Amino acid sequence: KEAGVVDSGGQGLLEVLQGAYDVLLGKEVDLKVEPVSRPVQKPMGAASGETADITFGYCTEFIVMLDREFGSAQEQEFKDYLTGMGDSIVVVADEDIVKVHVHTNHPGKAIEKGLSYGALTSMKIDNMREEHEERLNLSRQAEEKEPAPRKDMGFVAVSIGSGLNDIFRELGADYLIEGGQTMNPSTEDMLNAIAQVNADHVFILPNNKNIILAAQQAKALVEDKEIIIIPTKTVPQGISALIAFEAESSVEENEAAMTEMMNGVKTGEVTYAVRDTTIDGKTIKVDDIMGIDDNGIQEVGNDVEAVTLGLLRSMVDEDSELICIYYGDETPEEKAVKLSKKAEELYPDCEVQMEYGGQPIYYFLLSVE
């Protein structure tokens, strides 16, 4: 509410309550669906398994920072333009910005149209045919691979970013679910992941407070394995929890050790603002850099390094021993090296480690233990 945006979970709950209220009143709802007048793209992973089934090959996203009037007429004009060249269209206007999403074969044309309304930021184009082919190859490899012998304990972890994925695998994670702030896996995703782990006891590391409930629901539905949820709320917590695992210890001992280790981790995130807002008493402009820790937004500024070091100041105390810096997919390695050296100078009593995380959206993820 303070940020001036709609919480999708809260809106969903409101719809459920409205539906219950309508039932009590005996309201009749027309559930007829109008036929689509043009071909619809088949979903990724269609039964045929052919990339040719993907009608529009490029998932295109960007944000327009408006420099001209953009009312309902302009919004409809933009939607109509995109409808003529693709599907899965989202055009959402909010004061000074417009968020755009479209599947198309001509991403350049969508971008050109966006530029007619203002400057662009957060541009992202993904080749869905290429991604689909990679998924099919991985699926074929999994089918051809002989199943590993059943073991006592295994792990499912939620992760995002190639570097973080590699770290989890190196620490012994059996199966990774792609997830993140805007891509929360479902209970079904959890169940599918659990089925892939050939173990009697499966530990789940949600690594996001929004995913813990899905893990709990999955646990209640699994009968042939014991599911242990370590309630990690961040990726750094998940990494530290996995480090605490000892193969020689019992399930109960590992659950206690991993939970204790997780609770000793402070997490920080450095990202950018996509809109103007005021929150936690801080005025934030679009494209400002924000430093966020477990207690909320701590730093706001225009320089990534300055905000990151300011965030570290709020996280490190006299009991801190280890600082881990994970740099994202859009952060050059040399900037990460420079930052880690400054952290070593500022906190000589702490060990400073730097790793490639490859996470989107966040320039840096920080862990202080």
Q: Is residue 48 scored above 50 in pLDDT?
A: no
User: Within this chain, do residues 255 and 298 fall inside the same structural domain, yes or no?
Assistant: no
Reduced to 3 states, what is the DSSP secondary structure of residue 239?
helix
Dihedral-angle region of residue 54 (phi above 0 means left; psi in -120 to 50 means alpha; beta otherwise) = beta
Q: Does a structural domain hold residue 14?
A: no
The CATH number assigned to the domain holding 156 equals 3.40.50.510
Summarize pLDDT for 321-357 with one digit per residue, the tens. Answer: 999 999 999 899 999 999 999 999 999 999 999 999 9
Q: Contact at 8 Å (CB) between 135 and 118? A: no
The CATH number assigned to the domain holding 106 equals 3.30.70
Position 236: which residue type? Answer: P
User: Within this chain, do residues 87 and 155 fall inside the same structural domain, yes or no?
Assistant: no
Q: Would you tell me how many other CB atoms lie within 10 Å of the CB of residue 98? A: 22
Q: Contact at 8 Å (CB) between 28 and 95? A: no
Range of the domain at 273: 266-368
Place of tokens 């862990």: 367
Domain closes at, from 206, 241, 263: 263
User: Within this chain, do residues 278 and 292 fall inside the same structural domain, yes or no?
Assistant: yes
Give mean pLDDT, residues 104-129: 90
Q: Does a structural domain hold residue 170?
A: yes
Domain closes at, from 263, 284, 311: 263
Question: So what's the pLDDT on residue 46?
Answer: 39
Q: Does a structural domain hold residue 215?
A: yes
Q: Is residue 101 scored above 60 in pLDDT?
A: yes
Q: Does a structural domain hold residue 229?
A: yes
Q: Which two tokens stand for residue 61?
A: 């996203």
Question: So what's the pLDDT on residue 132?
Answer: 75
Q: Does a structural domain hold residue 19?
A: no
Summarize pLDDT for 235-267 with one digit per residue, the tens. Answer: 999 999 999 999 999 999 999 999 999 999 999
Choose between 368 and 160: higher pLDDT: 368
Question: So what's the pLDDT on residue 171?
Answer: 94
Q: Would you tell me how many other CB atoms lie within 10 Å of the CB of residue 78? A: 23
Q: Is residue 43 scored above 70 in pLDDT?
A: no
Question: So what's the pLDDT on residue 180?
Answer: 58
pTM over 0.85: no
Q: Does a structural domain hold residue 141?
A: no
The count of domains in the chain is 3
Give mean pLDDT, residues 63-67: 90
User: Within this chain, do residues 250 and 157 fall inside the same structural domain, yes or no?
Assistant: yes
* E strands in 117-264: 118-127, 151-159, 175-178, 199-205, 226-229
The CATH number assigned to the domain holding 323 equals 3.30.1180.10
Confidence of residue 42 (pLDDT cuts 50, 70, 90): very low
Q: Does a structural domain hold residue 278?
A: yes
User: Within this chain, do residues 60 and 126 fall inside the same structural domain, yes or no?
Assistant: yes
User: Within this chain, do residues 164 and 182 fall inside the same structural domain, yes or no?
Assistant: yes
* H and E: helices and strands count for the chain: 11, 16
